[in-house]
Amino acid sequence: MNGTLKRVAVACLVMFGLLLVNVNYLQVVKAEELREDNRNFRRFFERYENQRGRIIAGNEVIAESVDTKGDIRFERRYRNGRLYAHVIGFFAPESERGIEAARNKLLDGTSADLVVRRAVDLLTNKPTRGADIELTIDPRAQRAAYESLRRAGRKGAVVALDPKTGAIKAMVSLPTYDPNELAVPNKGKVAQAYNKLDADKDQPLLNRAIETTYAPGSTYKVVTTAALLSEDDTVGPQTMVDAPQVLPLPGTTVGLPNYAGAACGSGRVTLQFALEKSCNTPFAKIGMQLGYEKMKEQAARFGIGEPLQIPLNVATSSIGKKEDDAALAMASIGQRSVQMTPLQMAMVAAAVANDGTVMKPYLVDKVVSPDGDTLEETEPDELSEAMSPDAARKLRQMMVSVVAQGTATAAQIPGVTVGGKTGTAETSDNAPPHAWFIGFAPAENPKVAVCVFVQSGAAGDRATGGGTAAPVAREVMQAVLRR
């Protein structure tokens, strides 16, 4: 009998031991997997128990959580959602995007910076409240960018910066979407809405301002000009440069013509004239003369090739790998392997405007606790020195001439001195070009730098930087300067 009891006791101890092992395995090893499991409805309801903080642009609340008093306690709502979609993103049943993702812990109140606030809410039996995020976005500039880009074409992006601080005043990408459709607390409806957007050939979920890169065309001649000015401080706007009608490309049987086969002068022109008329051959030759390493070094001084967060992740721009001189000639006019985000090209314009200093771009101005205390406040930060103040002054003068009497006259603002550069970038064979413009205003004391990108085919087969993108930039710059 005693032997039987012992065996039963041992069996019970073994089973209790296995139970304890299993409990610890579930709580420690499998806890995260179980918490993230789509079938875990407790987690689903927990996502809506906290009152997420507001997202604010200017004096406008563009995202907030509304108390429903029901099982789904707080629902996320977006005002003018299509206007701000690619900045704020969305808060969905199982994921976040945009600022909603980048500042999620502050918005939902779980950040360590809000531990005291959480303790107070727990003691008073109130829902946890998150911090408010105040953006740098200027609602007037954002709307001007959205409306004018929509008129110019269906696909593209606009970025406007304060060149002295790096604050992003506008960031628009088209086509857009309504984040409210992805914020409803219903997994089935959200999945259906998301899948429809994801399958759309026009890619409305893609933030064209920062998430992918494109050939910048002749706007990149600003970088090539900066490289020349940095290499030789005796060079200026009136320096004469070679401008053949067709430039032979080394190692090939073809030549590089100017846009539309134009003569672009009589073989020798001033550097300012070459930029005004966006001649291809002078800048292609300058790039080859400087060489790949110096062109790469100049690009790096603008921040090109460096990873960047604003706090949204930004695709890395690049001039491509070292190839032959023919490839370098094409890269020097913004073709071949050169690929830029619109944000990066806005940074190029901002650096010229800001005496050669590149400021780190940012979207979040302040983070404010539910009690009104400032938890974070962004201080402007220098990213790099693209060129000397003297070189920047010369380049500004030339870009002002581009708008005054060159390819960018459509960017002119009455009573304001505007500087800029157009770009019409070839894409694949027989595909319409991209249309670009970068610029700043007022040139004497720049308050805004802007990049406008209209994607291939969005504005028709004959889209150009001067005719399509420059008018959009004018509207955005005017909106900022009216404040």
- Sheet order of strands, 434-441 included: 168-174, 156-161, 448-454, 434-441, 419-425
What are the start-end ranges of the H helices in 265-331?
Answer: 271-276, 280-290, 292-301, 325-331
Residues linked to residue 61 through DSSP beta bridges, in sequence order? 56
Sign of the C-alpha dihedral computed for residues 65, 66, 69 and 75 taken in this order: negative
Amino acid at 262: A
- Residues 447 and 459: their CA atoms lie apart, in Å, by 29
246 phi and psi, to 5 degrees? -135, 130
- Cβ-proximal residues to 410 (8 Å cutoff; 6+ apart), any chain: 466, 467, 470, 471, 474
Q: Using an 8 Å Cβ cutoff, are 307 and 240 in contact?
A: no
User: Is 218 a known active-site residue?
Assistant: yes
> Per DSSP, what are the bridge partners of residue 434?
425
d(CA 296, CA 298): 5
**Token pair for 262:** 């134009």
The packing angle between helices 280-290 and 221-231, to 10°, is 50
Give me the catalytic one of 148, 218, 317, 401: 218
> d(Cα 34, Cα 460) in Å, to the nearest integer?
51
Which of 298, 394, 310 lies closest to 352 in space, CA to CA? 394
Pairing of strands 90-91, 357-359: unpaired
Contact 87, 60 (CB under 8 A): no
* Pairwise CA distance, residues 190 & 93, whole Å: 8
Q: How far is the C-alpha of 374 from the C-alpha of 370, rounded, in Å? A: 10
Give the number of other Cβ atoms within 10 Å of residue 327's Cβ. Answer: 21
Which strand (E) or helix (H) includes residue 441?
A: strand 434-441
Task: Please list the active-site residues.
Answer: 218
